[in-house]
Amino acid sequence: MDYNKLAELLFPHITKTPEDYEALYPQRDLPEGAKVTRLGPSPTGFIHLGNLYGAFVDERLAHQSGGKFFLRIEDTDDKRYVEGAVEIIINSLRFFGINFDEGATMTGDIGQYGDYTQSHRGEIYQCFAKKMVADGTAYPCFMTEEEIAQIHEQQEAEKANPGIYGKWAKSRNLTMEEIQAKLAAGTPYVIRLKSDGDMSLPEDQIRRVQVKDAIREILDFPANDQDTVILKATGIPTYHFAHVVDDHLMRTTHVVRGAEWLPSLPIHVELFEKLGWEPPIYCHTAQLMKIDEETGNKRKLSKRHDPELSLDYYRNQGYHPAAVREYLLTILNSNFEEWRMANPDADIDEFEFTTEKMSNSGALFDLNKLNDISKDVLLKISASDLYDFLKGWAEEFKPDLLHIFEDRAYLERILDLGRAEAKPRKDHIYAQQMVENISYFFDDMFRIEDEMPAEAAADVATIIAKYLETYDHSDDQTQWFEKIRQITEELGYAVKPKDFKKNPDQYKGHVGHVSTVVRVALMGRQQSPDVWEIQQILSEDRTRARLAKFL
Ligand code: GLU
């Protein structure tokens, strides 16, 4: 068979050669050891935690080594395309501190290795498919869907491996005349890899391939034997082929992708071999898992059951990007938490991220742990920065809350409340929850949420009336407490809670019950930070007005 003739017959419109593309995309001029990584999302409009997790690895590997990180849009599956998806990807990742050096952007490509959108690269893929046909390593396949289904049935009956390979690959042996006749008749066809693998050999004669995965040590598997489709009937490449061509020409050094690609790695290895190219270093990341609330078992995070899989969830709820980054590093690198304990105030980018310290079995995602980490992270963020962060969140997600930002000094004092202590208050987690936490500082959101303590229920009006009568806004904390004690004694409550516990018949309740009455009247809640401090922030007018209104 004259393969060159076949290649010309199939791709007469392809005039560029592989050498032209090699020259167009030369090796990158980067320092020794610099890594080039890419994110290749499909523009489905849904961006999830797994994307962020992978992007974080890409970003760290590239930027820690003085390399490059680029965005490539993998839109060869047009059924999944959603308008505006590129914008969603870029904005969501930027929010979490992931920035690209080159690739697709909202206003066109940046960088010398484009086009960075796969659907614009048709001729490039066809050029390399043409080369493979000319080399005799790929061929046109005219099998219909029915024929393939029939083969599948037969394979099931014979207990043979499914797929198109070896004797099942019917189009492999067509003659030039047969091919020409089919083309003349307009018969649709795909281009398939002509695989060398042969699984029908005795076990010890099957060729094996070893690949060093940066996260998983050496992977050892039988060489591919499938005549995988590389170009679909439309001329559009499959993921397998597009990834190989793109990562070669874009000079990617490290391919970070999910473990779901491990089964097709043998195909990719064979494609690199057939094209005579050095493969990149693969880093197959572990699946994100969670403990199922109902069964207590580990399972994959699912789009349908776990809203926390979507990155939108974190933005809507108002998680601070620094908290999400900090948390992701704890699940990404097993030595991160230790490092953090030794370097509590260091910038997170000083941590040296490595693929060797990544889990290869399954990364356990735990929202409670994220919340705990968030509490610590927020504690280190100044009230002024928190104010800006909250305001940005409200502008995007809760415009009806914007009035709470009118008095910057007031909100900053609220946010700082109880944070300067030796054992600081750690109840800020995410914006939505923080706003609920502090809502009582704002008259329009203030509501009595809790009941009065039963022990003091009969005296509520008396307690508040006395409290208001003796209220002096200039009292310090000790003077303030002294007045509470007086009211406590006057009304027959125990000043010391333990006295009440010892002799419950002698008292109506204790000082805690009395002060809780004040708390509920002022804050609407039984639990809150220090009452005196809250009053100082609320101001004398607001405090008096609230107590008076309560009466
Ligand atoms: N487009 C692929 C996906 O969305 C990317 C896989 C890769 O990074 O190679 O899963």
Q: List, for residues 503-512, the tens digit of each pLDDT value.
A: 999 999 999 9
Q: List, for residues 234-262, the tens digit of each pLDDT value.
A: 999 999 999 999 999 999 999 999 999 99
Closest by alpha carbon to 41, among 126, 122, 117? 117
Query: Is the pLDDT at 155 greater than 80, yes or no?
Result: yes
Query: What pLDDT does 463 receive?
Result: 97
Query: Is the pLDDT at 79 greater than 70, yes or no?
Result: no
Q: Calculate ∠ Cα 298-299-305, nearest 5°.
A: 130
Query: Using CA positions, which residue lies closest to atom 5 of ligand 1?
Result: 40
Range in 259-268, 354-363, 525-534 the model is least confident about: 354-363
Q: Looking at the domain that runs over 124-285, which CATH code has it been given?
A: 3.40.50.620
CA of 472 to the centre of ligand 1 (A): 66
CATH 1.10.10.350 fits 447-551, yes or no: yes
| Arithmetic mean of pLDDT, 384-392 | 98
- Pocket probe for ligand 1: among 42, 93, 213, the residue whose CB has the most ligand atoms within 8 Å is 42
Regarding the beta carbon of 240 and ligand 1, being less than 6 Å apart is answered no
Q: List, for residues 306-360, the tens digit of each pLDDT value.
A: 998 999 999 999 999 999 999 999 999 999 999 999 999 999 999 999 999 998 8
Query: What pLDDT does 263 receive?
Result: 96
Rounded to whole angstroms, the Cα distance separating 47 from 239 reads 19
Domain with CATH 1.10.10.350 in the chain: 447-551
CA of 42 to the centre of ligand 1 (A): 7
CA of 8 to the centre of ligand 1 (A): 32
Rounded to the nearest integer, the mean pLDDT of the chain is 95
Q: List, for residues 184-218, the tens digit of each pLDDT value.
A: 999 999 999 999 999 989 999 999 999 999 999 89
Regarding the beta carbon of 42 and ligand 1, being less than 6 Å apart is answered yes
Rounded to whole angstroms, the Cα distance separating 525 from 260 reads 49
pLDDT band at 78 (very low <50, low <70, confident <90, very high): low
Pairing mode, if any, of strands 36-39 and 68-71?
parallel
| Arithmetic mean of pLDDT, 372-390 | 97
Q: CB count, 10 Å around CB of 249? A: 18
Q: List, for residues 178-188, the tens digit of each pLDDT value.
A: 999 999 999 99
Q: List, for residues 13-67, the tens digit of each pLDDT value.
A: 999 999 999 999 999 999 999 999 999 999 888 888 889 999 999 999 999 999 9
Regarding the beta carbon of 243 and ligand 1, being less than 6 Å apart is answered yes
Closest by alpha carbon to 311, among 44, 107, 71? 44
CA of 260 to the centre of ligand 1 (A): 10
Query: What pLDDT does 384 receive?
Result: 97
Domain with CATH 3.40.50.620 in the chain: 124-285
Rounded to whole angstroms, the Cα distance separating 119 from 77 reads 9
Rounded to whole angstroms, the Cα distance separating 353 from 337 reads 12
Regarding the beta carbon of 509 and ligand 1, being less than 6 Å apart is answered no
- Pocket probe for ligand 1: among 72, 75, 261, the residue whose CB has the most ligand atoms within 8 Å is 261
Regarding the beta carbon of 40 and ligand 1, being less than 6 Å apart is answered yes
Which residue has 């890419």 as its token pair? 38
